[in-house]
Structure 1
Amino acid sequence: MKSFKFFVFSNREKGFGFPFDRPSKDSLERMDTRIIGGEVSDLGNWPWQAAMLYAKYGSHIICAGTIVTKKVVIGAAHCVGNFETNLLTFSAGHTEESYQSSPVKRAVPHPDFNNFFHNDIALFELEKPFTWTEFVKPACLPYSDFVPSDSGRCVVSGFGKGSNDRLTHVVLPLWEKASCKSILESQGGATWTGLPLDESQFCAGYQPGGLDACQGDSGGPFVCKTNQGWVATGAVSYGYGCAEKNMPAVYANIPLYRDWMLAFIGESNDEIPDGCGEPVNKASFGDSILAPTLLDVENGNLWEGEEHRFVQEYKN
């Protein structure tokens, strides 16, 4: 497995230069292989969930993505470099009755992706467009000014590494960026310090630990519920381990790339769908103390008035 997102540096004493070459597979150690502390998703909870497969690995999932149009999937730039584009496939629906798949025609990592995982986002054009069904639907593209509130709580979903057939999801709070930067640098150790956050990234995580995305979820959907549907807000990028206490994960900041995405969609002879961000089935969050918050679709602020009702609806 050459994809290494969500990782732990297994040999801290070795360190890495600053800037450093990307760690090799042998210098990384995984802690788990799927969403940690989450709930099993029901069919139709997250219809924009896509899974990336690589022909040389059979049916094993290597990364993930978010469906935003019939032909375009958002993923992570670090999921592109190690694989031949013509051997990549995205699947959706993920049950016998609703399963769809399409080879990747074009994979374009952001031109400014670098070793700090800045701009860790890629766009994928599919050879064959998905067909909209109850179980395959797009997430909404965010406005450029959409900045989710530091008091917001959103959802990350994924299958994890391997040929997993069980989609899971978990609610994660947004972190204030200065706090995230401070924590990563103070607790990450010598091998972690030197991965500076920039505007292309944001942080999310559960401070006590125990809830997180993990290996195989890279590039997958981090979506926020707004007054106009679920919005594709982030793509899973990296983290120091999985679900560690006081260790938020880092996500690519999708709203920053709206113009780039619109241009790519146009080049793919595709268009923004009329409807988006509305699953056929509302997800359950079980006994979790967290529930997603409702945000303003235009700016990401907490949606006033309906917020309490919305949270209680998901808690009950």
Structure 2
Amino acid sequence: MALLLGFILGSLFTGTAMDLDPQGCGTNSVGFDYSTLTKTNNKRIVGGNIVTPHSFPWMVALKYRGVFQCGGSLLKGSSNKWYILTGAHCLHGAVVSDLEVVLGAHDLSKNEASSETIAIKQTMNHPSFNPITLEYDTGLMELAVPPQIQRPEINFGCVAANKPSSGTICYVIGWGTTSVESAPSDMLQVVDKPIMSQQTCEGIYGTDFRNSSMLCAGYPQGGKDSCKLDSGGPLMCYHNSRMEIIGTVSWGFGCAEPNSPAVYSSTVSARQWIDKTINA
């Protein structure tokens, strides 16, 4: 089976849905213009750039027993409940008391005044998650206490209602390794990636690619990709003057290899479950 990208013990869009589309989601308070991302000279995630600090304020670092393991995204639920969207494989087999998330972070090597660490109340994986095939590799964590959302460094994300068309340039962020053999990045990085058609993904991965719950993105020549420890982090597309999450980093063969695009768990496919869970 594929190499997991993070280890724990292991027309663009149409339609709206307000429960996963709260006012102010997918934006930042540091004045960063997401529309400029495709104009940057992307150089190392693999092949990416260090982001403008706090320009993706829903991004969180998931720690297992105090050690960084996966990424995730802050979502706003009902009744002042708050959740982290991540990969189900990041949570599979983990004890809740061993998990915590860091919000408002940029440089994980520092104890930043902008960041806060919050314990997890409970975890939930998609009911169709298969830890062997990684179908429906979508998980949620309910925070034990509300985050300090009034801080400019912390905001909640949006979950897209529809998958973009193939060829659309989207973005993935993370603190993961910048090559298969390297150490993780201290500072959050971003990389641009075109969405591939489902037919192309199936042609590359065969039966490992489960069309109903997965999507893939990348350049045929490689060079830009998510990698180890980026798991659970968001794949996002710019739409309606904000970023909208369309997937979470799930698996791939190597990192940034030619004709080996990273595979993401589709949050569009899991959207009904996400909505029902965080708004229960």
In the superposition, the TM-score normalised over structure 2's length comes to 0.76
Query: Which blocks of at least 5 consecutive residues in structure 1 are unaligned?
Result: 8-23, 26-33, 186-193, 268-316
Letter in 2 for 1:116: T
Residues in 2 aligned to 1:211 and 1:68: alpha-carbon distance in whole angstroms? 27
Deviations 1:175-212 (A, max 9, x none): 01111111224xxxxxxxx4132211111011111100
Flag as ranges the 4+ runs of structure 1 deviating above 4 A.
Answer: 161-164
2-structure distance, mates of 1:164, 1:86: 26
Instruction: Tell me the equivalent position of 1:76.
Output: 87
| Equivalent-residue separation in structure 2 for 1:172 and 1:164 (angstroms) | 19
Q: Deviations over 1:144-173 (max 9, x none)?
A: xx1211020111000116775311110000
1:88-130 alpha-carbon deviations (Å, 9 max, x no partner)? 0011111512101211111111111112111000011010111
Please state whether the residue corresponding to 1:45 is helix, strand or coil.
coil
Which of 53, 62, 66 is the equivalent residue of 1:52? 62
Structure 2 match to 1:237? 250
- Three-state SS of the structure 2 residue aligned to 1:64 is strand
The answer to whether structure 1 residue 139 and structure 2 residue 157 are counterparts is yes
* CA 72–112 in structure 1, closer or farther in 2 if over 3 Å, else same: same
Segment of structure 1 superposing worse, 65-74 or 198-207: 65-74
What secondary structure is seen at the aligned counterpart in 2 of 1:206? Answer: coil
- Contact preservation (8 Å) 2:201, 2:209: no
Contact 1:86 1:104 in 2 (8 A): yes
Residues of 2 paired with 1:182 and 1:117: CA distance? 18
Counterpart selection for 1:170 from 191, 194, 215: 191
Question: In the aligned structure 1, how far is the partner of 2:86 from the partner of 2:133?
Answer: 17
Structure 2 counterpart SS, 1:179: helix
Cα displacement (A) at 1:134 = 1.6
Equivalent residue number for residue 22 of structure 2: none
The 8 Å contact of residues 153 and 173 in structure 1, kept in 2 or not, is answered as yes
Whole-angstrom CA distance in 1 between matches of 2:272 and 2:260: 31
Residue 64 (str. 1) matches residue 64 (str. 2): no
Deviates more, 1:41-50 or 1:231-240: 41-50
In structure 2, distance between residues paired with 1:128 and 1:215: 29
Equivalent residue for 1:39? 49
Tell me the equivalent position of 1:153.
169
Answering whether residue 171 of structure 2 is matched by residue 183 of structure 1, we say no
TM-superposed CA distance for 1:258, in Å, is 2.2
In the aligned structure 1, how far is the partner of 2:185 from the partner of 2:51?
Answer: 13
Instruction: Measure the CA separation in 2 of the matches of 1:150 and 1:111.
Output: 28
Give distance in 1, aligned partners of 2:184 and 2:202: 34
Alpha-carbon distance in 2 for matches of 1:6, 1:48 = 20
Corresponding residue of 1:119: 136
Shift of 1:262: 1.9
Cα gap change, 1:206 to 1:138, in 2 (>3 Å): same
Tell me the amino acid that sits aligned with residue 204 of structure 1. A
Residues 222 and 236 in structure 1, CA contact (< 8 A), matched pair in contact too: yes
**Whole-angstrom distance in 1 between the partners of 2:255 and 2:184:** 20
* CA deviation after TM superposition for structure 1 residue 228, in Å: 4.4
Q: Out of 213, 220, 235, which is 1:200 matched to?
A: 213
Q: Take 1:130 and 1:182, find their aligned partners in 2: how far apart are those partners? A: 43
* Unmatched 5+ stretches in structure 2: 11-43, 107-111, 178-182
Task: Give 2:83's aligned amino acid.
Answer: V
Whichever residue aligns with residue 144 of structure 2, its letter is E
- Give the structure 1 partner of residue 105 of structure 2: 94
| Residue in structure 1 matching 2:122, options 90, 106, 113 | 106
Alpha-carbon distance in 2 for matches of 1:42, 1:82: 34
**Residue type of the partner of 1:47?**
P
Distance across 2 between alignment mates of 1:175 and 1:63: 24
Residue in 1 aligned with 2:266?
253
130-139 or 162-171, which moves further after superposition?
A: 162-171
Question: Highest CA radius of gyration, 1 or 2?
Answer: 1
**Equivalent pairs: percent with the same residue?**
33
Contact 1:61/1:164 (CA < 8 Å) preserved in 2?
A: no
Using the alignment, how far apart are the partners of 1:204 and 1:138 within structure 2? 24
Contact 2:223 2:257 in 1 (8 A): yes
